[in-house]
C-alpha cells in the first residue's frame, strides 16, 4: 500500500480525494498496490467540501505531514513559490519521502534545487499537474519525446486567460465580467493578477523550457506581457483579419540561444490554438525527429488537475524513477537565453487615434522608420509586416503607450 498525505484541500485537493475514491479499484490495479490517503491538512477544518474525508487523519499543522510515520509521499496542493510549500517540499524530500505537486511557482523558482534534494535522498519530485492541468505534457517531453532535440514549444497554458478571452469574444462582455465568471468557476488563482498579468503562464513556460532544453528553469530571461490591456476593440480587429487573440507561452531557438516569451498573440482562426477555447489549454511541440505534435485538453479545474496529480501518484506506486527534469539535476545547464525575440508580423494599436486619416499619417511615419505596414484596421490599429522588434521599438517610440501583439503563422 502507498500511503500519501495531502496538503491543501481547495478545488484541486478535493478533486484528488474524489478521484482516488471514485476510481480506487482501477487505480490500485494500475498502480500495483492500493493508494491510501493517510492524512490531510488544510487551513479550515470546518469548511464544507465536495469529498468524503471519513477515516482520514486530520492534521492541523501542515508541516507535520512530512514527518508522520508511514507516509511515503506528500501531495502538496497549496501553491506559492515561497513560504509553507517550499518548507514542506524541503522537509519532505530531506526525509527521503517523495513530493508530488501542482505548484508551478515553486517548481519554476526552485525546481533544480528540489530535484537535487530528491536525488540526494532517493525520493521522487513529480509535478505533472503544474503545467496545462490535465494535459500530460511533462510526461510527453520527459518520456515520450526523450529522443528528440526540441526545436520549439508554444502553448495556451492558462485556463483563466483563455476563458476570459473566449468569453469576451463570444458573449461580447467586458474583461471584468469575464474575469468574475472565471473566478466563480474556480479557474483563477487566489490572486488572479498572476493569471492575467502572465506570471502563471511564465512559471509554466519556464518548466517546459527546462524539460525541453535540459536547462535550469529561469524566469529572469523572459519577456512577460499579460491580457489586461486587451480590449473588445482588439478582439474585433483580430476578427477582421481572421484571427483570435490568445495568451501564449513561446520558447524557441533564436540567435544561438533560447528565447522565451509570454504575450497575447493573434493566431489564425483556422489553427488549433484559435480553436482552443474556454478553459482548454493546448501545447504545440516541435521535435527534430517526431516533427510537430499537438496536445489539447482542460488546463484548469478540479477534475483535469486531479487527473494529472493522480498520474504522478500512480507512477510513484509503480516504482517509476526518472529525474524530475529528464536529466540529473547536476546536468541541468544554465541556459544561454536570447533576449532577441524573433521577428514576426505584428498587431499595433496606437492610443487615442479615432480617425482613419490619423492612422494613415502614422502608417507613413512607420514606413519612414523602416517598418512595413500591411493593413490599416481603423479606428486605431495596424498590421505590420515581419518586423525586427528593435526596429519596431524605435519606430513607435514617439507614438506614446502603444499596444503590440505578435501575429503567429
Ligand atoms: N489559474 C490556473 C489557470 C490554474 O487558470 O490555468 C491552473 O494552473
Distance between CA atoms of 92 and 87, rounded to whole angstroms? 8
Atom of ligand 1 nearest to the CA of 192: 1
Section 328-332 average pLDDT: 96
Residue nearest to atom 4 of ligand 1 (CA): 300
Distance between CA atoms of 380 and 360, rounded to whole angstroms? 10
Percent of the chain at pLDDT > 90 equals 82
Question: What backbone phi and psi angles, to 5 degrees, belong to 236?
Answer: -65, -45
Confidence of residue 41 (pLDDT cuts 50, 70, 90): very high
Atom of ligand 1 nearest to the CA of 102: 8
Distance between CA atoms of 112 and 130, rounded to whole angstroms? 15
Q: Is 139 a catalytic residue?
A: no
Q: Is the predicted pLDDT of residue 193 greater than 80, yes or no? A: yes
Active-site option among 204, 246, 269, 328: 204
Tell which one of 159, 162, 207 to mutate to probe ligand 1, the residue whose CB is within 8 A of the most ligand atoms.
159
Which helix (H) or strand (E) is 53 found in, with range? none
Atom of ligand 1 nearest to the CA of 160: 5
Ligand 1 centre to CA of 195 (Å) is 7
Tell which one of 133, 156, 277 to mutate to probe ligand 1, the residue whose CB is within 8 A of the most ligand atoms.
133
Tell which one of 187, 208, 247, 279 to mutate to probe ligand 1, the residue whose CB is within 8 A of the most ligand atoms.
187
Which of 94-103, 198-207, 349-358 bottoms out in mean pLDDT, i.e. has the lowest?
349-358
Residue nearest to atom 8 of ligand 1 (CA): 300
| Beta-bridge mates of residue 285 | 153, 293
200 lines ligand 1 (CB under 6 A): yes
130 lines ligand 1 (CB under 6 A): no
Decide the pairing of beta strands 291-298 and 98-101: unpaired
194 lines ligand 1 (CB under 6 A): no
353 or 384, higher pLDDT: 384
195 lines ligand 1 (CB under 6 A): yes
213 contacts: CB under 8 Å, gap ≥ 6 = 150, 251, 258, 335
**Terminal alpha carbon distance of the chain:** 50
pLDDT score of 22:
97
Section 31-50 average pLDDT: 94
What is the DSSP track for 243-287? Answer: EEEEEEEEEEEETTEEEEEEEEEEEETTSTTTT--TTEEEEEEEE
Ligand 1 centre to CA of 184 (Å) is 13
Ligand 1 centre to CA of 319 (Å) is 29
Q: Is the predicted pLDDT of residue 146 greater than 90, yes or no? A: yes
Question: What backbone phi and psi angles, to 5 degrees, belong to 293?
Answer: -140, 140
Residue nearest to atom 7 of ligand 1 (CA): 300
Ligand 1 centre to CA of 344 (Å) is 28
300 lines ligand 1 (CB under 6 A): yes
pLDDT digits (tens, 9 = 90+) for 239-262: 999 999 999 999 998 877 899 999
What is the DSSP track for 327-390? Answer: S-GGGPBPP-B---PPPEEEEEE-TT---HHHHHHHHHHHHHTT--EEEEETTTEEEEEEE-HH
Section 169-185 average pLDDT: 92
pLDDT digits (tens, 9 = 90+) for 344-361: 999 999 987 777 778 998
Confidence of residue 160 (pLDDT cuts 50, 70, 90): very high
Amino acid at each position: 500500500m502507498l500511503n500519501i498525505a495531502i496538503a491543501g484541500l481547495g478545488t484541486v485537493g478535493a478533486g484528488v480525494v474524489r478521484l482516488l475514491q471514485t476510481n480506487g479499484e482501477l487505480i490500485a490495479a494500475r498502480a500495483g498496490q492500493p493508494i491510501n490517503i493517510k492524512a490531510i491538512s488544510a487551513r479550515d477544518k470546518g469548511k464544507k467540501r465536495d469529498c468524503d474525508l471519513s477515516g482520514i487523519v486530520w492534521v492541523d499543522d501542515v508541516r507535520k505531514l512530512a514527518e508522520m510515520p508511514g507516509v511515503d509521499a506528500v501531495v502538496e496542493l497549496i501553491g506559492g513559490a515561497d513560504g509553507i510549500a517550499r518548507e514542506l517540499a524541503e522537509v519532505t524530500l530531506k526525509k527521503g519521502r517523495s513530493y508530488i505537486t501542482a505548484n508551478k511557482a515553486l517548481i519554476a523558482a526552485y525546481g533544480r534545487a528540489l530535484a537535487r534534494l530528491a536525488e540526494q535522498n532517493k525520493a521522487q519530485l513529480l509535478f505533472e499537474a503544474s503545467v496545462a492541468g490535465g494535459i500530460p505534457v511533462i510526461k510527453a517531453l520527459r518520456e515520450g519525446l526523450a529522443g528528440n532535440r526540441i526545436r520549439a514549444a508554444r502553448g495556451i497554458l492558462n485556463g483563466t486567460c483563455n476563458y476570459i478571452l473566449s468569453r469576451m469574444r463570444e458573449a461580447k462582455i467586458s474583461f471584468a465580467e469575464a474575469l468574475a465568471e472565471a473566478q466563480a468557476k474556480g479557474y483563477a488563482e487566489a490572486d488572479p493578477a498572476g493569471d492575467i498579468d502572465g506570471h502563471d503562464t511564465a512559471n509554466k513556460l519556464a518548466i517546459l523550457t527546462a524539460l525541453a532544453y535540459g536547462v535550469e528553469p529561469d524566469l529572469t530571461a523572459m519577456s512577460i506581457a499579460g491580457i489586461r490591456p486587451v480590449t473588445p476593440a482588439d478582439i474585433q480587429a483580430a476578427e477582421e483579419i481572421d484571427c483570435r487573440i490568445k495568451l501564449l507561452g513561446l520558447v524557441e531557438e533564436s540567435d544561438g540561444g533560447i528565447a522565451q516569451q509570454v504575450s497575447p498573440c493573434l493566431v489564425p482562426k483556422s489553427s488549433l490554438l484559435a480553436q482552443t477555447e474556454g478553459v482548454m489549454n493546448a501545447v504545440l511541440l516541435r521535435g527534430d525527429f517526431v516533427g510537430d505534435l499537438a496536445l489539447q485538453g482542460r488546463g484548469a479545474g478540479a477534475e483535469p488537475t486531479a487527473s494529472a496529480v493522480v498520474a504522478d501518484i500512480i507512477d510513484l506506486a509503480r516504482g517509476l524513477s526518472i529525474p524530475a527534469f529528464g536529466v540529473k539535476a547536476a546536468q541541468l545547464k544554465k541556459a544561454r537565453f536570447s533576449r532577441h525575440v524573433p521577428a514576426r508580423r505584428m498587431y499595433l494599436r496606437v492610443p487615442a487615434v479615432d480617425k482613419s486619416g490619423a492612422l494613415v499619417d502614422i502608417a507613413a511615419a512607420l514606413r519612414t522608420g523602416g517598418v512595413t505596414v500591411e493593413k490599416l484596421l481603423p479606428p486605431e490599429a495596424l498590421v505590420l509586416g515581419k518586423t525586427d522588434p528593435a526596429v519596431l521599438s524605435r519606430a513607435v517610440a514617439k507614438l506614446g503607450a502603444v499596444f503590440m501583439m505578435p501575429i503567429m503563422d
